[in-house]
Structure 1
Amino acid sequence: MKGARTALRLLLLGLALGLGFLVAPGAPAARAEEYDYYGWQAEPLPGGGAGRFYSKPPQCLDIPADLALCHTVGYKRMRLPNLLEHESLAEVKQQASSWVPLLAKRCHSDTQVFLCSLFAPVCLDRPIYPCRSLCEAVRDGCSPLMGSYGFPWPEMLHCHKFSLDNDLCITVQFAPLALFLLSSVTKICAQCEMEQNADGLMEQMCSSDFVVKMRIKEVKSENGDRKLIGAQKKKKLLKTGPLKRKDTKKLVLYMKNGASCPCPQLDSLTGNFLIMGRKVEGQLLLTAIYRWEKKNKEMKFAVKFMFSYPCSLYYPFFYGAAEQH
């Protein structure tokens, strides 16, 4: 009876917080003492297996304002250690900060709910994991975007680690119909979304391996990607990074997953372009493209002071994804 009341309280709290929890029908009632928040040390993994052991007992604390990823998630208190084995707020802030740019890309409306369920889990009697369906929905919405920047879906977020939707877990929040309507709208290629200020430009430069001012000779489609072939002359390397002489002799860049999405900057190939990118497994991936505008003060300022700009913790762009040069 106590276990049933505990499950009911968790469900009601979840509804009050705006989070969807699933309780399996006929699930065995757990004893209340199993969920004694300050009493347990071993945390059972959602898919079974050995539990985790922490050096400090779990505690509840306010989500700090400078934890930008989760401060606006919809609840005020978080559990520490979290569900990614981070035992200090400093570690949580550092590693969560690199995921903030993903929220701005709006690849799935449940991205914040999913990530914060792990980085800053809601403070209840027991740890509440995301359902596998929530992980899969966010992964399917965001992994193509991450892939376009050369980052795979990270191992620490592999969806098989989470339970099927037959246990107490956080479910998908976004209505399937609305998701279908949103996905049916053709969006501008992620690499062609333009920052309008110098700080935004310099943040992009920070998270890019190289920055080049160049002309584009030709654009082709290849295996779902857009292939940009640079003109032989009139290119200026503003940030060289890992580029080798053979790379710069004939610049060929790939806009991952960009063959079918619109990119207004490439409607005309006349003039110069400001291009940023990363080198991944020997391939040059384009991460941002702008038409070069001499009279654009924001662009001029960003290029002039790019090396003196204090790059934030948003570099690398997504934490946990291994870079391969």
Structure 2
Amino acid sequence: MDNQDNTTGTHQQATSASPQSYSSQTYPQFEEDEIDLRELFGIVWAEKWLIIGVTAIFAIGSVIYALMQTDIYRAEAVLAPADSEQNMSGLASQLGGAAALLGVNVGGTAGDDISTAIATLRSRQFIGRFIEENDLLVPLFAGRWDKTTGESVIDEEVYNPTTQTWTAGGPPSDQEAYRAFTGMLSIGGPDRTTGIVTIAMNWHNPVEAAEWVNELVAAINTHVRTQDVSEANRAIAYLRAQLEQTQLVDMQRVFYQLIESQTRVTMLADVRDEYVFQVIDPAMVPDQKAAPSRSNIVMVGIMIGGLLALTLVYLRRKFMTLQNKPAS
């Protein structure tokens, strides 16, 4: 009985002592963390001149780098799908089967026309021909914008305008020209609801940026119009040849209707310049730069400098600790 009481008393003492032991184990941990944090601030304060110096160097370097960056301007045009009268959905639904058998296209959907036009805009063949026809090779690779005069000048270290020769390794290749042009070209859309398409140029010369966007829109309209007219004329010639060879009245009527549909395509192309894209808002010469954000460049430079300074302080303290550690 006495042993049982002693056991119960011992258990109660252990139970009552456990909060104290828990407290004695927990509180020193908090104090130790507080001491470590205080020691950390002490180290930072002791090495403040190193941290300030490294951060200041990076801040000054980032300011110089930001000021050296060339201003980039963004010229943008807003386009809408042109009214596709040439599609003639009613006639297409009536003669679609016969036209397909004869290999004649009586028109697709407006969405297909826009998608094809955008794919053409991004194609190497179209971009290469656009660069060649508008003599853009020299401005792309040797042109720079003079802020003082507000004019575009030629870098004679790259291209000699007097002799019209490239001084640095010869003229750029077609692939280089394509990458340079598409690198500043931005095509957005079409919007699923409105069908709106945006074409933009990011370039250091605001005047050239606006001109190239408007010329690009005109070029794609001309390209698609010429392509459709050529296809329609070939179809008309083919249909007329087939018309002369048949004596069936029903087939003759189908041929006449198909010829009429292709003739409408050629007539529409002759009277409308905005063939596939209708310009809602043409590109204007931008008066404000779009990039770079110099303040962001400086902030990033200061952050990198501060992190590097803290890393140097840590490595320095670590090295000093290893140096002062007694040999075992």
**With structure 1 as the length reference, what TM-score do the two structures score?**
0.20
Instruction: Give me the TM-score of the superposition, normalised by structure 2.
Output: 0.20
Question: Greater share of strand residues, 1 or 2?
Answer: 1
> Looking at CA atoms only, which structure, 1 or 2, has the larger radius of gyration?
2
Higher helix share: 2
Higher relative contact order (CA 8 A, sep 6+): 2
